[in-house]
Structure 1
Amino acid sequence: MVGVDLVSVGVVEETASVILVLRAAALGRLLVMEVGLMEGRAIALEAEGVRTPRPLTHELTHRVMEALGGTLTRVVICDYRDRTFFADLELLTAEGREVLVDARPSDAIALALRAGVPIVAEEAVLEAAGVPEEELEEELEEEEATPDGAEKEDDGEKGPVLH
């Protein structure tokens, strides 16, 4: 298992979907996954530390787990097949029993951010679906060049920029 960090959340205007970029620094690889607009919004709000007046689904799930004495210990991005990512929630029950719960990666990531627990990925997932960091950086540099070869103005933002 390799630790991953959320490095970018971006909206694809044409499809109204959200792109998440997760970085496995130890391997120099990125996982790029598309999630729904509402799930992406929840992740973005959680990443920014924004609290909503009423609990969103991931926050409600966190509250229910706590009320029952359970603890989320980590989130595992465990599989990638048919262009779909799969995740597990690793939980510890009030009785001390370890439990795995299947979850959509978007829900699992939002919950991990809320609970402040690690997100890890299986190395096989990073190999199958991961993109080398330098490859994405090269693509972004090419996109920033204008047709005449001049560079666009720097907008001050660093890291992956998704449109």
Structure 2
Amino acid sequence: MSLVRLTIKGISYSQTQNGAYALLLSEMEGQRQLPIVIGAFEAQSIAIALEKDIRPPRPLTHDLFKSFSDRFSIQVKQVIIHKLVDGVFYSSLICERDKIEEIIDARTSDAIALALRFNAPIFTYQNILEKAGIYLKTDEKEDEDEDDPLQETQLMINKEFDEEDLSEDSPSKSETPKKSIQDLEKELEKAVNKEDYEEAARLRDEISKRK
């Protein structure tokens, strides 16, 4: 199976789940997008890593992992999102120390937060993109905003630093009423057009389960 390199398109607030965020990944040589629902803690960590000029007052967990790895000459060479089961993405960290390579299982949100800190590329397989990827329609407004695809990031960082407690657990998914696949596909298209990537991901997973 061939690997496809991904980039981070942006992070958006969940419009349906309190405390959840949608991380949007995009293939570098194509138009498919891969939305992944993540928790507030991981979203904050990823957003801070994207905003190079912002440093938290104390190291976050992923910053601590980076410092620990640097001290012991461990490098994260790449991240691979290698499996999708029941709407859950599974990832691996490809690490190296003294020219010895090790593969470590990781949550996708943690793996991406670390990839940013190590400047490591992010990959997935073609079959995962074919199963879970979505096509986003572009328009002139989106083209104008393309220079700043993470415009919500700064607002999110400010909001999260004001919160005293950040949970590392993603909230439970809301239940989808019994609807036909055709109705769900229409709702998926509407969610994509509204850039509600978290809802699009939920609907996509529901459609996949029924097929």
Distance 1:89 1:46 in 2: 17
Equivalent residue number for residue 20 of structure 1: 23
- Confirm or deny: 8 A CA contact 2:24 2:34 kept in the other structure: yes
1:8 to 3, 10, 19: 10
What's the offset of the Cα at 1:162? 4.3
Higher strand share: 1
2:128 to 125, 128, 138: 125
SS of the counterpart of 2:59?
coil
Equivalent residue number for residue 103 of structure 1: 106
Q: Does 1:67 align with 2:71?
A: yes
Equivalent residue number for residue 145 of structure 1: none
Distance 2:82 2:119 in 1: 19
SS of the counterpart of 2:26?
strand
Higher helix share: 2
What's the offset of the Cα at 1:13? 4.5
SS of the counterpart of 1:39?
helix
Residue 108 of structure 1 aligns to which amino acid in structure 2? Answer: A
Residue 59 of structure 2 aligns to which amino acid in structure 1? Answer: P
Normalised TM-score (structure 2): 0.63
Q: Which runs of 5+ in 1 are unaligned?
A: 142-152
Name the Cα RMSD after superposition.
Answer: 2.4
Which aligned runs of 4 or more in structure 1 are off by greater than 6 angstroms?
none
Distance 1:133 1:92 in 2: 36
Q: Percent identity?
A: 29
What's the offset of the Cα at 1:25? 2.8
What's the offset of the Cα at 1:53? 1.8
Q: Which runs of 5+ in 2 are unaligned?
A: 150-193, 198-211
What's the offset of the Cα at 1:17? 0.3
Distance 1:60 1:29 in 2: 33
Equivalent residue number for residue 144 of structure 1: none
Write out per-residue CA displacement over residues 102-154 of structure 1, whole angstroms, 9 at most, x where no aligned residue: 001111111111111111111121111111234xx48xx9xxxxxxxxxxx99
